[in-house]
Amino acid sequence: MPAAHHEQRSLFGEILDWMLAPLLLLWPMSLGLTWVVAQSIANRPYDRELADVVRALARQSTVQAAPGQAPADQMRAGLEHAAAVLQHEDEEDRTYYQVLGRRGELLAGDAGLAVPLEDPAAAAPSGEPGVRFRDDVIGDEPVRVAYLWLGGAGSGNESLVQVAQTLGKRSQLATEIIKGVILPQFVILPLAVLLVWFALARGIRPLAELQQRIRKRDSTDLSAIAEGDVPDEVAPLVRAINDLLQRLDRTIATQRHFLADAAHQLKTPLAGLRMQAELAAREIDSGRGDPASMKHTLRQIALSTQRASHMVNQLLAMARAEDTGQAARHKAVDLASITRAVVRDFVPRAMERRIDLGFEGADGQPGPSGTRLMAEPVLVSEMVRNLVDNALHYTPPGGTVTARVMRDPLDGAVVLQVEDTGPGIAPSEREAIFRPFYRVPDTQVDGSGLGLAIVQEVAERHGAQVSVADARPRDNDAGLPPGTLFMVRFPASAAPPAPAGGSALHQASAAGHGHQDAQAQPE
């Protein structure tokens, strides 16, 4: 199935969304809070006015109700006159008042005002001493009520003075306050959005400039990008790109060097082919082409062809070893079985050179002592093939080459050893021999110089370690050459999971030099 297409996101748009979304979300909350605050502000002056009216009526009712004064009708008339003076009637609001006696009788005012149900002895919640406020309804119209209890608090003989007023002027004042606060916001909010957009565009401009600098670069320019003129937040990205460019530059340089060496190495067999072909053509043209000389020429052509073919195969193996996609093709393989098969393939060549070629070990079994691991079979086989081929190249006739596979009981690593009885490798040369096309000085052995480089590359792809040492002490009593011992250690983590139901223990093969199955004895 085709991979799902992911729409490319805009960093500018995403940051802008995250900056504007809270702003647009907080704006309605600001409107609600402004309305609540405006209502509270609008109530304060009118509440103070109502409190003044209530206290004035309270003083008037106290004077009129004194002993020996005017009768009830005269007291009511005085209260009504005082209320008319203090109420300040206007066209927008209506004011109601009520004065109740100690027994709850209506002394003056409107009977429609409800008596508050709270305890007269409770403290007044408002800021005015003794005056309390509540919201109520007269008819179907909401009003604001200020009231005051007169008499001994908690005695049960309190009289009550109440003044109620409709909410017209209060609503009008609250509306004016809201308009004064909200209307500027309709100008400020778009301006704020514009400023945010401008600031964000200004802030990410260095990214656009960096993009243009990279786009204008030549495809061969892998130099580091200057970090001095980029923001601190972008500097880690630039450093990562510079690191990638540096590694890419090293890789390309290595590839150029590799191709140059490969071309140089291929020139020799190809030049030999051309020379032998031209020589054969001249001999035929001159009539001196006898069968013996032609047979020699054809043999030289075949040898040059074989060298060129071997070089091409080595180059292809090197390319496969460097392919990072090989890791995706790892599967469970038996290193002992692969090594046994490789040794069997080299038996005819070993017999031709009178070299004792053998294998020590047993086929890998599941479990802690097996020789199975997760690897790419083709690459592992190529690694073993190059080690054995290298040993056969440098071992003189009558010598011995042994391929050995075992599992280290200490750390569980699977170990491959290839040991020969050749002249050995000097300690100063042991690091250089793994470089492509490197040849040990003063050697007369024909080769491409790629075999050990392939071994090193395959081992690194599988997390293994390659080491080289002498097979025996250089100052041995028998005066034998030191030989060479190559060892590749695959970590225990490379082993595949053991199947359910247990595993058979793998027993190591015979100690010493008892070769198994694939064995070539000198004639």
* Residue 318 or residue 11, greater confidence: 11
pLDDT of amino acid 490? 92
Whether the per-residue pLDDT at 393 is higher than 60: the answer is yes
- Maximum average pLDDT range among 77-81, 152-156, 186-190: 186-190
What confidence score (pLDDT) does residue 265 get?
Answer: 60
Candidate ranges 12-16, 63-67, 463-467; pick with highest mean pLDDT: 463-467
pLDDT of residue 250: 81
Residue-level pLDDT at 87: 53
pLDDT of the residue at 425: 87
Domain with CATH 3.30.450 in the chain: 11-178
CA distances, 215 to each of 208, 210, 244, 498 (Å): 10, 9, 16, 52
* Cβ atoms of residues 383 and 454 within 8 Å: yes
Q: Where in the chain is the domain with CATH 3.30.565.10?
A: 327-496+506-520
Q: What is the mean pLDDT of residues 288-305?
A: 72
Say what the pLDDT of residue 522 is: 41
Radius of gyration of the chain (CA): 52
Residue 70: the pLDDT is 47
pLDDT at residue 197, rounded to an integer: 82
Under the banding of pLDDT at 50, 70 and 90, the label for residue 356 is very high
DSSP codes joined into one string, 256-307 = HHHHHHHHHHHHHHHHHHHHHHHHHHHHHHHT---HHHHHHHHHHHHHHHHH
Residues 6+ apart with CB under 8 A from 237: none
Mean pLDDT of 164-188: 83
Per-residue model confidence (pLDDT) at position 507: 34
Architecture per CATH, domain 327-496+506-520, reads as 2-Layer Sandwich (3.30)
Of 5-9, 31-35, 149-153, the range with the lowest mean pLDDT is: 5-9
The residue-averaged pLDDT of 226-241 equals 80
* 3-state SS class at 95: strand
Measuring CA to CA, which residue among 222, 270, 275, 229 is closest to residue 250?
222
Between 27 and 320, the more confident residue is: 27
Contact 489, 465 (CB under 8 A): yes
Q: How many CB atoms lie within 10 A of CB 112?
A: 10
Cβ neighbours of residue 54 closer than 8 Å, sequence gap 6 or more: 131, 146, 147, 148, 161, 162, 163
For residue 488, report the phi and psi dihedrals to the nearest 5 degrees: -115, 120
Contact 336, 361 (CB under 8 A): yes
Confidence label for 274 from pLDDT (cuts 50, 70 and 90)? confident
Which is more confidently placed, 138 or 20? Answer: 138
- Mean pLDDT of the residues in the chain: 76
CATH 1.10.287.130, the chain: domain bounds: 236-318
Whole-number percent of the chain with pLDDT over 70: 72
**pLDDT on residue 339:** 93
User: Which numeric CATH code is attached to 236-318?
Assistant: 1.10.287.130
pLDDT at 175 > cutoff 80 = yes
Average pLDDT over residues 446-469: 83
pLDDT at 489 over 50: yes
Q: Which amino acid is at 113?
A: L
Is residue 521's pLDDT more than 50?
Answer: no
In whole angstroms, give the CA distance from residue 149 to residue 126.
Answer: 14
pLDDT for residue 420: 93
Other beta carbons within 10 Å of 161: 29
Q: Which of 31-35, 98-102, 351-355, 477-481 has the highest mean pLDDT?
A: 351-355
Q: Percentage of residues in the chain with pLDDT exceeding 90?
A: 12
pLDDT in the model for residue 500: 46
pLDDT at 207: 81
Name the DSSP letter for residue 104.
S
Find the range with the poorest average confidence among 177-181, 270-274, 317-321, 395-399: 317-321
The 10s digit of each residue's pLDDT in 198-217 is 887 877 787 888 888 888 88
User: Residue 77's pLDDT is what?
Assistant: 61
| pLDDT reading at 361 higher than 60 | yes
pLDDT(501) > 70: no
Cβ 383 vs Cβ 459: under 8 Å? yes
Of the options 3.30.450, 2.60.40, 3.30.1890, 3.90.10, the CATH number for the domain spanning 11-178: 3.30.450
